[in-house]
Amino acid sequence: MKRPLLKHPANRAKQTAALLLDFNKVRILHDAASGPVSRLSLTQKLQSHGCSVSLATLERVLLRMVRNGWLASKKPALGTPTDYSLTAKGRVVLNAARNHLKTLAATLHDPRRQQIPRVKADTTG
């Protein structure tokens, strides 16, 4: 008899990591809101919060966030690390995520709240 996918420890770990990666994107946007951040500083910050993310994974996430227009990348000088800054579009996404997370946290703390209002974020422009 086959074990369900979620019961297998490796699959649970992968699914948990995938879910936490989305939360880490919000954390990256939050950190970039206070000023330019580097890949190394983000890695250290995530690790200090108990998140284990490789530099390669973080690089892919950052590149995707730049392509989405949420972050802008700038290499200050030759031989220095790339800095990532929050864009106006990234600020809209961050504010929408903050509002949604507040509602989600309230729902998790008060099970009587069943509905989570939909937050519409304009990420097109």
Cα–Cα distance between 27 and 42 in angstroms, integer? 9
For residue 28, the enclosing domain spans: 23-109
* 1 part of a folded domain: no
| Sheet architecture: strand order including 83-86 | 37-38, 83-86, 71-74
* Cβ count within 10 A of residue 97: 19
Model confidence at 97, in pLDDT bands (50, 70, 90)? very high
Would you say residue 8 has pLDDT above 90? no
* 123 part of a folded domain: no
Whole-model pTM: value is 0.71
* Section 29-48 average pLDDT: 90
**109 vs 9, higher pLDDT:** 109
* 79 part of a folded domain: yes
**Number of independent structural domains in the chain:** 1
Tell me the pLDDT tens digit for each residue of 14-30.
Answer: 676 667 777 889 999 99
Tell me the pLDDT tens digit for each residue of 41-96.
Answer: 998 888 887 777 788 888 999 999 999 999 999 987 777 788 999 999 999 999 99
Please, are residues 51 and 19 in contact by the beta-carbon 8 Å criterion? no
